[in-house]
Every structure is written in structure tokens, then in C-alpha cells.
Amino acid sequence: LTLPGKVIFTAIPILVALSAGLVVVIVLFGAPILHLLVANLPIVRFVLAATIILLMTIPTAFLIIYMEMKVIALINLRIGPDRVGPFGSLLSVVHGLKVLMKEDFTPTGADPLVFTWAPVVTYLASVMTLLVIPFAPGLYGQDFNIGLLYFFAVGGLSVVGLLMAGWSSYNKYSLLGGLRSAAQVISYEIPLTLSVVGLILLAGTMSLNQIVLNQSGWFTDWYVFQQPLGVLIFFIAATAEANRTPFDLTEADSEIVAGFATEYSGMRFGFFFFAEYVNVFIISALTVTLFFGGWNAPFPWPWPITLSLDPGGLGIGLLLLVAIVPLVLTIVFAVPFWIASSRIKTWQALLGGFVLANLFLGALVFAGIYIGLDWVAGVLWFMGKTYAFVFTFVWMRGTLPRVRIDQLMDFAWKWLLPASLLNLFVTAAAIVVVHK
């Protein structure tokens, strides 16, 4: 058998058996299972959200890795990845497969339990923070009333993963790297947390969903205009927190081996880097959520639109409509081509009309979805803003040189911390003055 043949001949019987078993299970126990699920809807919702978020991080990391390769290449006047997939977009997938296939090696003397769990802790600490981020109206894992606190608490766990990796590797350089990254991340944790306290005072809540709802309306309602210093401190501290350039001393690729990840190989190594890129997404998402209106559009739609479409009410007319509208639109859009120049042949005009009609219909459908489903609009705005920040992080990596470790620490303790305290006091004073 050929390789595809082997795959098909193995997979089809398995699939058939599994489907048959599934059908039997549904027929026999379908109703009780459904009742159980309905009775425990919050738990089911949570498990589903956690699964979706865990699965979502992988394509997100692939996308950001690809973005990083491509954007930095374009900044360097290179072309960048262009061989695998359209515009090289599958190269990061290939990288992922490559680390999957590499040997998973545990050095002699390493503590196998801690060594194995360190990447898991780091990765999960990143992924679990995504649970509280509202992607769209009603589209969030869990709406804690202490969501922001949860975010920082769980996000802080990644330090534990880094320390575990450094400690368990049985290598002094790994240990030094782990301690250094712990020092950096813990130092920047303080201005990062302090910079959003002013925002919490303004919002009066730590629920991220409520914070986003507070910013609805015009873009001038976003907290960035009330907390400009806070945004700046938050952004800088978040850059350091996510180990991004110019604060990527944790694994300064060009200077030291890989810090805490020196002894790692294969997919465990890959998990550290997945976690790094997921972190980039998460801090961008959090910046957008806290300061840039989350899933809110920058301007409210000036007049209300209610779609009261009832296609079923048309009866047989709906079928006629479906049959005739594309033809009519094609001809209507072909007319301008046909009139424009006598050198355009009829079939060319019709082809152009067909393409334009499809674009028009697609735009109509998109507009209908955008207006009708507010979570689609929310996700689009949220992702657009988030990826604008992801682009900024990549852009910074393509521009800024790395700082020294003493400059890094000086900056955190001598500048960011006083600045965040100043921001907090000024905000508090302003709130007191305004409310009196």
C-alpha cells in the first residue's frame, strides 16, 4: 500500500466504528446526557470556553509568528517567508511541525517531573488569562467581578514556570537565566499592576466586561484619553512582562543561548515560544480591553437600524428571487463595462459584471451579518485593534535595540514605579475633586 492508502485503510474503519458507537450512545443515552448538560449549563459553558480558548491559542501563535517573520523581513527590505503556502503563511505551521518531530530530550541530572511541567505551567498561565478577556458582547470565558485581579494573578504564574525550567535543568546557565527572567518579570509586575489601579478607580469595577461596557459610545469615551500616562506605563511594563524587545533579556537570542530554555528541546521548547507569542496576543488584547474600548466600535452608528427580514414570508417568491437576482445583478453590473468602451467584448463585460455582482452581494451579506449579529461586529473590532497592537510589538522588535539589565532594572524602579504612583495619585485626586 502507498502512504495515503495506509492512512485511508486505517482511518476509515476507525471512523466508521467510532461513528457507529456514537450513534448507539446517542440513541441509548442521548436524553439523560442532554438533561445532565442542561442542568449543569454554567459548567458546560466553562469547559467549552476553556477548550475553545486553548485551541484558539495555537492558530493565534502561528499567525503572530508568521506576522513577526514577515513584518520584520519587510522592515529589513527583505521579502521574508514566501515558499510554503500563500505568501509563505504556512511557514510557522511548518516550524510547529518541526519542533513536534524533534527529539524530546531530558538532560542527565534534571528533575524530570519539574522539567516536564515547567513548559506546561508557563503555557497554561498564559492561556488561562484569556478566560476573562471579553472578545465581543457575550463572548467571554467567564465574567469575574475580579477579572483584572485574576488576570494579573494567573499571568504572574508564568514566572513560576520560568523558575521551574531554570531550576530543574541541572545547568547553572539555565538557573541564572531563570533567575534573571524572574527578576525582570517580577520587577515589571509592580508598575504594570499599579498603572491600572487608576483605571480601576475610574471604572469602579475590576470586571473586564464591565470596563468595556463603560467605554461604549464615541471613541473619546475610551480610557486612553483619561489615563494617557497609565497607558504608556502599562504598555512599557507589558512589553517587559511579555519578554519582548527592547526588554527581551530573558532569551536575548543574539547574546546568550536561551536563558532558562537552554536545556529544552522539541515541543517543550516550542511551548515556551508558543507561550511567548500567546502572551503578545494577550497583552495586546488586554491593552485594547482596558484602554481602547475593547469590542466597541470607535463611533456609534448614528441612526438605528433594525433588520426585519423574513425570507420565509416571500413564499415561492423567495425561490424566484434566489434564481433571478444574481442574473439581474450580473447584467446590471455588466452594463457600465459594455457602455464604457466598444473594445470590451460582451463576454468580458459579463465577466466583470459577474465579479462585481458577487462583490456587491458579498458586501450586502457581510453588512447584514455585521448589523444583525453584534458579536460578529464586536469580534471584528476587537481583533482589528488587538492585531494593530500585535503589529506594534512586532514593529518595535524590528526597530529597537535591546537594553542592558541594569538599565532595565533602573527603568522599572526609578521611572515606571514613581510614574505609576503619580498616575494613581493624580487620578484619585481628580476623582475626589470631580465628585465633590
Partner 1 sequence: VSLIPGLGLAKGMALTLRRFFEPKVTVMYPEDRRDPPHKFRGRLQLLYDEWGTLKCETCFQCAQACPIECIDMGGMDTRGRYHVHWGAPETYGERREESALRRSGRTVPDPAYLPFASIDLARVDSILEEFDHDPARLLPILEATQAAYGYLPIAALKQISNRTGAWYAMIYGTASYYAHLRFEPPSATIQAAAIEAHRPSEATYRSALEASLAGGPGPSSPAGAPN
Binding mask 62-101 for partner 1 (x = CB under 8 A): ---------x--xxxxxx----------------------
Distance in Å, CB of 424 to partner 1, minimum? 21
Q: Which stretch binds partner 1 (CB under 8 A): 197-205, 346-354, 355-363, 392-400?
A: 392-400
* Enclosing H/E stretch for 420: helix 417-435
* Cell reading at 95: 516550524
Three state DSSP letters for 21-63: HHHHHHHHHHHHHHHHHHHCHHHHHHHHHHHHHHHHHHHHHHH
**Cβ proximity to partner 1, 77 vs 316, nearer residue:** 77
**Cβ proximity to partner 1, 298 vs 398, nearer residue:** 398
Q: In whole angstroms, give the CA distance from residue 167 to residue 80.
A: 37
Q: In whole angstroms, give the CA distance from residue 337 to residue 281.
A: 45
Answer for which of 58, 400, 403, 421 binds partner 1 (CB under 8 A) is 400
Q: Ramachandran region of residue 307, left (φ > 0), alpha (ψ -120 to 50) or beta? A: beta
- What Rg do the C-alpha atoms of the chain give, in angstroms? 27
Collapsing DSSP states into helix, strand and coil, what is residue 136?
strand
Give the footprint of partner 1 on residues 266-305 (CB under 8 A). Answer: none
Contact 287, 389 (CB under 8 A): yes
Q: In whole angstroms, give the CA distance from residue 209 to residue 136.
A: 9
CB within 8 Å of 304: residues ≥ 6 apart? none
Distance in Å, CB of 246 to partner 1, minimum? 9
Question: Rule CB under 8 A: is residue 414 a binding residue for partner 1?
Answer: no
Distance in Å, CB of 3 to partner 1, minimum? 28
**Cβ proximity to partner 1, 70 vs 180, nearer residue:** 70
Beta bridge partners of 139: 136
**Cβ proximity to partner 1, 180 vs 397, nearer residue:** 397
Distance in Å, CB of 404 to partner 1, minimum? 16
**Cβ proximity to partner 1, 266 vs 398, nearer residue:** 398
Collapsing DSSP states into helix, strand and coil, what is residue 278?
helix
Size of the site for partner 1 (CB under 8 A): 12
Q: In whole angstroms, give the CA distance from residue 324 to residue 328.
A: 6
**Cβ proximity to partner 1, 22 vs 79, nearer residue:** 79
Q: Which stretch binds partner 1 (CB under 8 A): 122-130, 190-198, 202-210, 396-404?
A: 396-404
Answer for which of 257, 348, 398, 428 binds partner 1 (CB under 8 A) is 398
Distance in Å, CB of 74 to partner 1, minimum? 5
Residues in contact with partner 1 by CB under 8 A are: 71, 74-79, 395-396, 398-400
